[in-house]
A and B are shown apart, each in its own frame.
Chain A
Amino acid sequence: MPLLRFIAGRLVKGVIVLIAIATVNFFLIRAAPGDPASVLAGEAGAADEEFIRQLREQFGLDQPIMTQLWLYLTDIVTLDLGFSYRQGRPVLELIMERLPATLLLTGAAFIFSLTLGIVFGILAARRVGKWSDTAITTGALFFYATPLFWIALMSQIIFALWLGWLPNTGFRTIGADYTGLRYALDVGMHLILPAATLGLFFTALYTRMMRASMLEIAGSDFVKTARAKGVPEGRIVRRHIARNAILPVVTLAGLQAGQIVGGAVLTETVFGWPGIGRLMFEALAQRDYQVLLGVFFVSSAMVVLFNLITDIVYRVADPRIEVGR
């Protein structure tokens, strides 16, 4: 089946990319000022002679560089992402604990931004030139130009602190032992602000793209054909214009996957959301480089997987692309 072959091929390419990223990590550590061992040990671990000795052994720091690279890569393949001295636990464990929260956040933000972006884009295009179009495009420009973390802070002030409508920080209400549906609702309430603020920038992006795409497609020959057939206007917008205009937006969304994962660092920091983004922030403050690089690697893996999914979705949506290539 061509689709399976395609997926297999892309997975292989994805693995190659990840190996390349690990190699980049490897050379970055060597590029840092100072001895690689103390860099890897981080601020806290640098004081512990025993720990540093262990690191030297593990990474083979007195061996030729190629051996070192090999050791490093084999570690990565076995999912050994190192050890955090500061937290006293393996990096992989720390990451796995927090990964679901980040997936929830980025997933929600992605769906939110894409849906809203498409809806607003269509609205603005259909009412082009009228005040509603101007309002939407101005709004889009506003959210596009404002820094993500600032919107997060401001919405935190307004919605959580002043108005008290939504919770301020965290994943769930501490102390309350909710289960089942109530738990899900609780998490959902906590999710609203972070996901919305993370998604707003991308909503703006997709709105602009969808609007431009709609306007361009509206002038296409096949739209004229549909009119000449006597197809009602509503149907033309749905099945002819929007259906085709959506394709470049989906492509764009796929390319933006990396940005959403990066933006999660900021959102999780502001809202205290217990994901890998916040882990990265803490690792920065603690100069815990193994954790830092571990998070970087995992987020890259997320992006690779994510790109694959959007690519498949796109190929299914656009029949012009042969799935097997």
Chain B
Amino acid sequence: MSVLAIDNLSLALPKLADRAHAVQGLSLAIDAGETLCVVGESGSGKSMTAHAVIGLLPNAVKPAGGSIRLAGRELIGLTEGEMRKLRGRDVGMIFQEPMTSLNPVMRISDQILETFESHRMFDAQQRMRRTFELLEEVGLPDPKHIARAFPHELSGGQRQRVMIAVALALEPKLLIADEPTTALDVTTQAQILKLVDELRHKHGTAVLFITHDFGVVAEIADDVAVLQNGLCVESGRAQDVLENPTHDYTKRLLAAVPSLTPPPPKDLSGEPDALIVRNLHKTYGGRGFFSGNARKVIAAKDVEFTIKRGETLGLVGESGSGKSTVGRCIMRLTEPDDGFIKVGDTEFHGVPPRQLRPLRKRIQMVFQDPYASLNPRRTAGRIIAEGPEAQGVPRVDAEKRARELLELVGLGASSAERYPHEFSGGQRQRIGIARALALEPDVLVADEPVSALDVSVQAQILDLIQDLQKRLGLAILFVTHDLRVAAQVCDRIAVMQRGEIVELEPTARLFENPKHPYTRSLLAAVPGAHAKMAAA
């Protein structure tokens, strides 16, 4: 008998939603000790499915048919009191955001003890012992110390381990994991995935793993179900689906996953240097007269690189590596403590603000968040035209150029009159790119330009960027945390750790023969790096 058996499940959405059902006619089954990944993009209904199993659907969403059976017991129709007894004991759940998923005013040990107390299991002594065992089992160092700590004293990865301890405290039959690694660094992600895998083998737990990342599927899944707009379009053994997808959508999703094969090398021998950076330093901490000793953070130390015209250099690192800071310092959005920056043949560092403004058009930026990088009160055309206008171009010409650029990025000139909220995430990112190009820069700094987009849209934007580079001869500094994305578009990659560049090589060489230990661990951590997946 399967641990979890979902049969023809439908979840109804409230009237004003963009479709009638969050999930329709969904069927899947997980056996003990097996992992099933539910894959889909945002809005596919995968998260709703997870919440339905544990009975934590939002008030507005209700089951409208089908059945959910946990070890043979029907869950739909149970009272809240009955569901509560199941939660934590027969089914455990871990969530996406480790930073907000733990009660900030409760000690770690209390958070685990609470599970025992709520289900009246064990006596006080046994509970404490079990708590320490759990903390050790999830790989937390110094369990005695961590037990007394508060969540804010732990890192994201550590918090996620605590969450796993909490969820598995009573050894439930089923563990539901709702994108638990999406908010984590690549190396931490790898560790957590390994931990979940180990634990399920050890305890025979069935795992329902929600994700949008096919790499994760390749890494840990026994079975997979692909969701699109609430419908399951394909399911089966993971290996089969990954290597031989049958449905179009699955094929598209797999094709969009950036592989680790680098682009063909370009001939850049005759090209001039477009961006030169030397001795870049930036340290944060201890600002202002009246504040105390804030902790010092070295964001950039002795950073140095050169980008030629037509070349893309990737700046890859995890959070806290300083990669975004480097990008911002080069743009002089944040002032570096020290450094030499030259854009083309113009020195960029040290130029006082008033003279800096006209120089800014040589180097432009594409931002990460398509929802926050456009002023909601301006039309697309105005947003793009503002740049040239600020540089002295008359309004009429600027607006004409805006329309041309909108065509160039694939949006059509008529979208100039529309407001940002009328566009999708990918389309807004195109507007952001058009804005950057409006000033005809020589260098483009792209700060995680596709991180906030769905996989299928990512591929389109990356193609657009590469296409524009070929046409306009841009030099691009591509900042990202995702090695696979970097592999797709970058000619050379610089790996950053704690403010320093530890390795800078052409992409192919970096992947074949990584020299620095950090680079090696980074490459090893990429989920599904060694699996076979159907390519484009």
Say whether, besides A225-B166, A319-B104, A230 and B119 are in contact (CB < 8 Å).
Answer: yes
Bitwise, B101-136 to A at CB < 8 A (1) or not (0) is: 111111000000011001100000000000000000
Say whether, besides A228-B56, A229-B115, A222 and B87 are in contact (CB < 8 Å).
Answer: no
Tell me whether A230 and B88 are in contact (CB under 8 A): yes
Say whether, besides A229-B118, A320-B150, A325-B292, A222 and B100 are in contact (CB < 8 Å).
Answer: yes
Task: Say if the beta carbon of B201 comes within 8 Å of chain A.
Answer: no
A240 interface neighbour in B88, B95, B103, Cβ under 8 Å: B103
CA distance A318 to B163 in the complex (A): 21
Task: Say if the beta carbon of B431 comes within 8 Å of chain A.
Answer: no
CA distance A224 to B92 in the complex (A): 12
The residues of A that contact B530 with a CB separation of less than 8 Å are none
Task: Say if the beta carbon of A231 comes within 8 Å of chain B.
Answer: yes
Tell me whether A221 and B100 are in contact (CB under 8 A): yes
**Interchain pairs with CB closer than 8 A, number:** 81
Task: Say if the beta carbon of A239 comes within 8 Å of chain B.
Answer: yes
B202 to chain A, nearest CB (A): 21
Tell me whether A320 and B100 are in contact (CB under 8 A): no
Nearest neighbor of B166 in chain A, beta-carbon distance = A229
Nearest neighbor of B90 in chain A, beta-carbon distance = A230
Say whether, besides A229-B88, A319-B152, A224 and B56 are in contact (CB < 8 Å).
Answer: yes
CA distance A240 to B88 in the complex (A): 17
Tell me whether A225 and B88 are in contact (CB under 8 A): no
Task: Say if the beta carbon of B237 comes within 8 Å of chain A.
Answer: no
Interface of A, secondary structure class, is helix
Task: Say if the beta carbon of B85 comes within 8 Å of chain A.
Answer: yes
Tell me whether A226 and B100 are in contact (CB under 8 A): no
8 Å CB interface, A309-325 against B: 317-320, 325
Bitwise, B505-535 to A at CB < 8 A (1) or not (0) is: 0000000000000000000000000000000
Say whether, besides A221-B95, A319-B152, A228 and B100 are in contact (CB < 8 Å).
Answer: no
The residues of B that contact A222 with a CB separation of less than 8 Å are 100-104
CA distance A232 to B150 in the complex (A): 22
Task: Say if the beta carbon of A168 comes within 8 Å of chain B.
Answer: no
Say whether, besides A230-B88, A320-B150, A225 and B118 are in contact (CB < 8 Å).
Answer: no
Tell me whether B102 and A225 are in contact (CB under 8 A): yes
Task: Say if the beta carbon of B54 comes within 8 Å of chain A.
Answer: yes
Task: Say if the beta carbon of A220 comes within 8 Å of chain B.
Answer: yes
The residues of A that contact B92 with a CB separation of less than 8 Å are 228-229
Task: Say if the beta carbon of B93 comes within 8 Å of chain A.
Answer: yes
The residues of B that contact A235 with a CB separation of less than 8 Å are 114, 118
Task: Say if the beta carbon of A227 comes within 8 Å of chain B.
Answer: yes
The residues of B that contact A286 with a CB separation of less than 8 Å are none
Question: Which residue of A222, A226, A229, A235 has the most chain B CB atoms within 10 A of its CB atom?
Answer: A229
CA distance A227 to B89 in the complex (A): 12
CA distance A225 to B163 in the complex (A): 9
Range for the number of chain B residues in contact with chain A? 20 to 34
Task: Say if the beta carbon of B84 comes within 8 Å of chain A.
Answer: yes
The residues of B that contact A155 with a CB separation of less than 8 Å are none
8 Å CB interface, A221-250 against B: 221-222, 224-233, 235, 239-240, 243-244
CA distance A233 to B92 in the complex (A): 17
The residues of A that contact B101 with a CB separation of less than 8 Å are 221-222, 224-225
CA distance A223 to B104 in the complex (A): 11
Question: Which residue of A220, A233, A318, A319 has the most chain B CB atoms within 10 A of its CB atom?
Answer: A319
Tell me whether B105 and A319 are in contact (CB under 8 A): yes
B131 to chain A, nearest CB (A): 13
The residues of B that contact A231 with a CB separation of less than 8 Å are 88, 114-115, 118
Say whether, besides A224-B56, A320-B152, A239 and B118 are in contact (CB < 8 Å).
Answer: no
The residues of B that contact A320 with a CB separation of less than 8 Å are 104-105, 150, 152
A318 to chain B, nearest CB (A): 7
B285 to chain A, nearest CB (A): 13
8 Å CB interface, A109-144 against B: none
Tell me whether A230 and B84 are in contact (CB under 8 A): yes
Can you list 8 residue pairs at the A/B interface with Cβ under 8 Å?
A221-B101, A225-B103, A227-B84, A228-B167, A230-B118, A240-B106, A319-B152, A325-B292
9 closest Cβ pairs, A-B complex: A230-B88, A230-B87, A221-B100, A229-B88, A228-B93, A319-B150, A231-B118, A221-B101, A222-B103
- Using A225-B102, A235-B118 as known contacts, list a sample of 12 further A-B pairs with CB atoms less than 8 Å apart, ordered by residue number in A: A221-B101, A225-B101, A226-B103, A228-B88, A228-B92, A228-B167, A229-B92, A230-B85, A230-B87, A231-B114, A244-B105, A317-B105
